[in-house]
Chains A and B, each alone.
Chain A
Amino acid sequence: MISKNPQLGKNRELQHLLTTEGLPTSILLQILDTAQTFVGVTEREVKKVPLLRGKSIFNLFFEHSTRTRTTFEIAAKRLSADVFNLNIAVSAQSKGETLLDTVDNLVAMDADMFIVRHSQSGAAHLIAKHVRPGIHVINAGDGRHAHPTQALLDVFTIRHYKKEFHNLRIAIIGDILHSRVARSQIHALTTLGVPEVRVIAPKTLLPSKVERLGVRVFHDMKSGLKDVDVLMMLRLQKERMQGAYLPSSEEYFKYYGLTPEKLSMAKQDAIVMHPGPMNRGVEIDSAVADGSRAVILPQVTFGIAVRMAVMSILAGQPV
């Protein structure tokens, strides 16, 4: 049985962006190609196009985030949309009913699009299923589940520097277990035809049966980084270091922190990426983060063009 993909409409066109899982290659490429056309807009005198003039976009952040919210806001403003930021920090016990009531109220204020971040996996799906046709939802991170625009800006950055996907060996390094970014990256990379995606992490920070996602698993940096073209670092969240996952941040840095020495095990022209915010001295050494191989700040810049692309593709879909 084919399960229905709630992101796609009748003609398999993108109606919501909830996850990179199950997105057809054609839609991934459409987003990347459209984003390429927006890169030029951000470089000119008037960094704005009138595409979404008159549309109301609500940034619905139930979990704190500065960078992601800001880049969505910039992207929407560069498309001439009206943007409303709602920071609704809620307790973990908050139930779906409250969420949908909030959404209904905003729909009554003529919202056209919701950008949703929530600590619970599936929050964006819930809203997407709830709203009427013509209202679009973008998942800006839900629990441990997905963060599709981060993964899309990552693959956009990879294509910018490496041109093709079919000849790459890519390593995702760090806390795969808790990372919605890693999950979204793996789905996007494998769909785009990257022949070898590796994950490098201690056993305690890997989901069980992670191989089923089509990745090769490594527990040490030396063998894991050999012949790698792209290193995708993950942020190690501080709260993980207090539990049973890791002994200490110093020990983590010793084995998994990316230093110039460890980077030298990868290919000479390998690039280093990080979704931010970085913990210098925990998952990445400053010498690497500020070094010539890091493309961490270009990732942020490309993130705006990618989010412009997603918003304008969604807003342009026929109802």
Chain B
Amino acid sequence: MKIMSNISLPDAEVLFSRLVAEIQANHDKPSALIGIHTGGAWLAERLYQILSETCSLEPLGLLSASFYRDDFDKVGLHARNKPTEISFSVDGAHILLIDDVLQTGRTIRAAINELFDYGRPASISLAALVDRGGRELPICAKFIGTELHLPKEKNLIFDRDEQGQFYLRLEDNKGVPSSSTEDLTE
């Protein structure tokens, strides 16, 4: 089945605005934001600036989840692994986890496990800029910027340029950039 031809990836800045609007429109406000390294942390930093103007939030948390991953035996530790920094008590907190691209759900599983080693949150929900499907665990985002259906062998990379502007790009599994206008068929 042809799922997308001549795809041009959506503007990540537009998706981010959509995500912010969705979170702001929701009745239940989080008490803390935690971004997952590295892309989720960038999103969380900006989201924190916007949301903290209207509601009171704990200091921004950043989480790596590397020590909880299920592929450690296969891939080991990343050389440029960033530390988890959570400076508030998660006990009783309503936590909004933020990640860039949601796919298998394994990173989120690892992140939730790590959070429980800090305490017992009242609730955890998830915001992702892109949900590209392909879930391998029963995990679902409460807020998403968009859904994208992409072939499995393509990696969707969330990045930011020198001015701090968000953008999306595609790579094949070996890290080679793909032209975003090629015919992507499954």
Contacts and interface: CB of A to CB of B under 8 A. Distances in A.
Contact of B72 (A39, A41, A48, A316): A316
A243 interface: no
A51 B118 contact: no
Contacts of A45: 117-119
A46 B84 contact: no
A44 interface: yes
Contacts of B81: 33-34, 37
Given A45-B119, A46-B117, A313-B76, A37 B82 contact: yes
Nearest to B116: A46
Given A40-B85, A46-B118, A50-B68, A33 B80 contact: yes
A135 to B, nearest CB: 14
Interface in B99-131: 113-114, 117-119
A49 interface: yes
A315 B79 CA distance: 14
A16 B98 CA distance: 37
A312 interface: yes
What is the interface of chain B mostly: helix, strand, loop, or mixed? loop
Contact of B77 (A40, A41, A48, A313): A313
A316 B75 contact: yes
Interface string A19-56: 00000001000100110110111001110111100000
Nearest to B69: A51
A44 B83 CA distance: 13
Interface residues of B, number: 23
Interface in A40-77: 40-41, 44-46, 48-51
A236 B84 CA distance: 40
Contacts of B114: 49
A37 B83 contact: yes
Contacts, number: 55
Contacts of B86: 44
A318 B117 CA distance: 28
A34 B114 CA distance: 17
B79 A50 contact: no
B68 A30 contact: no
Interface string A307-318: 000001101111
A184 B81 CA distance: 26
A284 B117 CA distance: 41
A37 B118 contact: no
A312 B117 CA distance: 19
Contacts of A37: 64, 66-67, 81-84
A182 B79 CA distance: 27
Nearest to A48: B117
Interface string A283-319: 0000000000000000000000000000011011110
A57 B44 CA distance: 39
The residue among B66, B67, B81, B83 with the most chain A CB atoms within 10 A of its own CB is: B67
Contacts of B67: 37, 41, 49-51, 312
B97 to A, nearest CB: 17
B117 A33 contact: no
B66 to A, nearest CB: 7
A37 B85 CA distance: 9
Contacts of B82: 37
A318 B171 CA distance: 24
11 contacts: A33-B80, A34-B81, A36-B83, A37-B67, A37-B82, A39-B83, A40-B84, A45-B117, A48-B117, A316-B73, A316-B75
Interface of B: 64, 66-68, 72-77, 79-86, 113-114, 117-119
Given A33-B81, A316-B72, A316-B77, 16 more contacts: A34-B77, A34-B81, A37-B66, A37-B81, A44-B118, A45-B117, A45-B119, A46-B117, A49-B67, A50-B67, A51-B67, A51-B68, A51-B72, A312-B67, A317-B76, A318-B76
